[in-house]
Amino acid sequence: MARAYLAPLAAAFVGGIVAELRGCPQLALALAAVVAAAGSRLPFALRLGLVACAALGALDARERGTIVFAPADVRTASYAATVLERAGPPDAGEWLLELADGRRVTAVLPHAHPSVCERLTLRARFEPPDQARNPGEPSPREFAAERGLAGRLLHAHLQHVAACDRGDVRYWLPRLRAWAGAKIRRRLDEPFATILAGAMWGERGSLPPDLRAEFQDTGTVHILVTAGLHLGVVAALASWMLGALGAGRAAASLGAIALVWPYALFSGAHLPSVRAATMVSFALFARAVGRSAYSWNAWAAAAIVVSALRPSSTGSLSFALSFSCVGAILLFAEPLTRALEGCGIPDPLREALALTFATQIGTWPLTAYGFLVFAPYAPLANALVVPAVGLAMLLGFLLLAASPIPLLAQAIAALETSVLAWIVGVVRFAAGLPGAHVVATPPPVWSIALYDVAACVAAALLARGRYAFAALILCVASALCVWPPRPASHDLTITAIDVGQADAILIQTPSGRTILVDAGGRLERGTLGGGSPAEAVGERVVVPFLVRHGTHHVDAVILSHPHGDHAGGVAPVLRSLGADRFADGGQTYAGHAYHDALDVARVKHIPMTEPRAGDDWSTGDGVTFRFYGPAEPFLHGTRNDINSNSVVFMLEYRCPGCRTPFRMLFTGDAGAETERRLLASGFDLHADVLKVGHHGSAYSSSPEFVRAVSPRYAIVSVGKHNLFGHPAPRTIDTLARAGATIYRTDERGAIVVHVNGETVSLATQL
């Protein structure tokens, strides 16, 4: 460790960047100064370097640490763009484009089939990447920055298509990727073609949802995106081929560097592939000069270069995963290999197992933090899959090279299919083992930091042969990540989750009970049959939100009415987390998402209830649900009978010692006809907070109804740029005239209501 002088310098440099980005650069300088002063055994130059690197990191972050996105265009404008590649599944119609000013954007062109390199003229609105709209959610801006995206074009209308300029060198690589994709899909069936294209150049293809989930559950999803594993395979293949041609170690290593970077450019030169190419290059250079390719100095040099080039990336999950993975290999690969010597395992398999276990030790807390899943069989799956990925990539290169010779290409494709079938088979087998899908609440940052320290201590103990103590320390640190002490809240918390043009509200009672009112989605067109895009919102937004906030089981789901923009996420929630009760209005409706929710409830034996006006529920901790609708007979002949017979209820919370209860009225998509029935019913409608009906539609929130409710706060769950004109100006004016403070999810993201005693406060994500 005495020779790894670059490691502490890299830590100081990255620390300076992180501290500056977090708004406290003095902290990094102070810590570096304390270490420098306390480390009397360290050379003076190293101590001075620590302070200097921390200062340089802070200065670099101050100058270039913030990525500035262009503001949104308020009006539709004309754009000239060149097609680079598909940006999603073929049926999604989404494309990656390069505008005339060099910005890269995505656009959905549902009825167009442009070719790579074609020049388009579009009428559209530009929108930069969004910020995270719900607490704890990953930032779309960070993801876009890693992919080099400036934003997207909304409501794009294709006006003109011009032929590709084949002499423009800027588009040779996109055309080469398109050619490679066409050749692979000509020889391979799905999902094998998508898996290979993802591994070879990071193509964002379309995998069946269940298969993608199985890759996630087994910790093998990284093979679908070109990054460290794939650049490492290319480097190994290049070194081997150059060595076979008679090049020495130095020449083969330097020649491999010369091949790694063109491959990184071929894969799209996204930040993860550039970062991996940088790390691989330092490792190859170390090998070329006679040093170990696995060295802390190479690791540290790569960290300095990558963080200096893109300071903002140091706070990203992919940055942490990349360097934690390699750091864990440096710490654990050799001790684990020695520990496995007495097990009679052959050398190649022993090294593969050691590398697999080392990478899992270094990355599992971060994958739990970012992907909300713990993959217990990841070491097994990766040990069986990772070697096959290298073979699949080699066969993929051979398949492309042999494409002019049909018989040879077909023979290689048959071998490739066998290798990819092995990968899929291993993933499906591991995903089918008991306990393969373990939903994980993200560990707190402090527990991950403590785990990293414990991992370093465990590695030192392993090097000394203290296997039992090392295992004990890792187990204790892992337990703190899985079951960390969390502050208990005894408040009532109600969160209007931002699910776009839809509704999803989470109620967390003082004793920790969780009730989900609607679950997001989108309107479904047509009748029952096939899959539903409405459920994607539940899978991508609602379920992750619940898990991030510690909810692994729902006490009750209340579905206001069966339209897809309210019912879409119910089936994913019930399927992933389960529930003790499912309350539904009992209307007849043919939407797929609604019937899928009913089917999941039946399969999981979740009790179904149909609350009616006059019913009450109590959670036993001061929270009562008083149902005001639907009343029988159901309303008929209204503007929309499904909306008019929404489940309507008043949440009432009376805390111990409080003089007046907190009240919040939930109205689903109830319209004016329902409001007139409620006014005539004699129910006490007065509430502190009103969940505005039907996303603020002009056909709800009548002045008489709003006056009867007299809310202090009004929450409108509505999507940005929705096509319905919600919320209607008339509704906003009615609420403002009644004295309500209006909170809209399209403007503020998620809205959180905290009730502590008689004190009510609202907080917003944006």
Tens-digit pLDDT profile for residues 229-265: 888 889 988 999 999 999 999 999 999 999 999 999 9
Angstrom distance (rounded) from CA 108 to CA 123: 12
Q: Which two tokens stand for residue 300?
A: 């540290």
Average pLDDT over residues 665-692: 96
One-letter amino acid for residue 689 of the chain: V
Does residue 3 sit in helix, strand or coil? Answer: coil
**Is the domain defined by 77-166 classed in CATH 3.40.50?**
no
Angstrom distance (rounded) from CA 498 to CA 36: 47
Neighbour-count burial for 413-451, b at 16+ CB within 10 Å, e otherwise: beebbebbeebbebbebbbeeeebbebbbbbeeebbebb
CB 178 within 8 A of CB 164: no
Task: Provide the 8-state DSSP code for 579.
Answer: B
Q: Is the pLDDT of residue 47 over 60?
A: yes
Average pLDDT over residues 423-432: 95
Q: Residue 226: which pLDDT band, with cuts at 50, 70 and 90?
A: confident
**DSSP-assigned beta bridge partners for residue 122:** 79, 158
Q: What is the DSSP string of 140-169?
A: HHHHHHHHT--EEEEEEEEEEEE---TT-G
CB 122 within 8 A of CB 159: yes
Tens-digit pLDDT profile for residues 275-331: 888 888 988 998 898 887 778 888 888 899 889 988 988 888 888 988 898 899 989
CB 702 within 8 A of CB 670: no
Angstrom distance (rounded) from CA 110 to CA 93: 5
CATH class of the structural domain 492-764: alpha beta
Neighbour-count burial for 520-539, b at 16+ CB within 10 Å, e otherwise: bbbbbeeeeeeebebbbbbb
Confidence (pTM): 0.87
Say which residues have a Cβ less than 8 Å from residue 171's Cβ, sequence separation at least 6.
Answer: 82, 84, 116, 117, 164, 165
Say which residues have a Cβ less than 8 Å from residue 606's Cβ, sequence separation at least 6.
Answer: 574, 578, 579, 580, 581, 582, 600
Average pLDDT over residues 210-219: 88
Q: Is the pLDDT of residue 427 over 80?
A: yes
Task: Provide the 8-state DSSP code for 539.
Answer: I
Question: Which stretches of 373-466 are DSSP H helices?
Answer: 378-401, 406-431, 445-463
Lowest mean pLDDT among 165-169, 619-623, 735-739: 165-169
Q: What is the pLDDT of residue 2?
A: 41
Say which residues have a Cβ less than 8 Å from residue 262's Cβ, sequence separation at least 6.
Answer: none
Q: Is the pLDDT of residue 268 over 90?
A: no
Q: What is the DSSP string of 342-382?
A: GGT--HHHHHHHHHHHHHHHHHHHHHHHHHSEE-TTHHHHH
Tell me the percentage of the chain whose pLDDT exceeds 90: 58
Q: Is the pLDDT of residue 485 over 70?
A: yes
Q: What is the pLDDT of residue 531?
A: 57
Q: What is the pLDDT of residue 38?
A: 62
Q: Is the pLDDT of residue 133 over 80?
A: yes
Q: What is the pLDDT of residue 39?
A: 60
E strands, 641-718, are 648-653, 662-666, 689-691, 713-716
Instruction: Look at the alpha carbons of 455, 458, 463, 465 in this order and tell me if their dihedral is positive or negative.
Output: negative
The CB-based long-range contact list for 49-53 (8 Å cut-off, 24+ gap) reads 49/5, 49/9, 49/12, 50/8, 50/9, 50/12, 51/12, 53/9, 53/10, 53/12, 53/13, 53/16
Angstrom distance (rounded) from CA 646 to CA 612: 10
Tens-digit pLDDT profile for residues 3-38: 677 888 898 899 889 888 888 877 766 766 776 666
Q: Is the pLDDT of residue 1 over 50?
A: no
Lowest mean pLDDT among 331-335, 484-488, 674-678, 716-720: 484-488
Q: What is the pLDDT of residue 317?
A: 87
Q: What is the mean pLDDT of the chain?
A: 90
Nearest to 377, CA basis, from 439, 328, 430, 422: 430
Q: What is the pLDDT of residue 533?
A: 75
Q: Which two tokens stand for residue 561?
A: 């009415």
Angstrom distance (rounded) from CA 567 to CA 503: 9
Distances (CA, A) of 699 to 669, 672, 729, 730: 10, 6, 12, 10
pLDDT: which is higher, 751 or 57: 751
Q: What is the pLDDT of residue 228?
A: 80
Q: Is the pLDDT of residue 527 over 60?
A: no
Tens-digit pLDDT profile for residues 168-191: 888 999 999 999 999 999 999 989
Tens-digit pLDDT profile for residues 74-91: 889 999 999 998 887 777
Q: What is the maximum alpha-carbon separation in the chain? A: 92
Q: What is the pLDDT of residue 605?
A: 96
Q: Is the pLDDT of residue 420 over 80?
A: yes
Nearest to 196, CA basis, from 388, 406, 464: 388
In the block, which residue shows the tokens 């403002």? Answer: 736
Does residue 690 sit in helix, strand or coil? Answer: strand
Q: Which two tokens stand for residue 587?
A: 């209307």
CA 276 to chain centre: 21
Lowest mean pLDDT among 304-318, 339-353, 599-613: 339-353
Tens-digit pLDDT profile for residues 733-742: 999 999 999 9
Angstrom distance (rounded) from CA 583 to CA 570: 11
Q: How far apart are the first and last CA of the chain?
A: 45
Q: What is the pLDDT of residue 528?
A: 45
Q: Is the pLDDT of residue 595 over 80?
A: yes
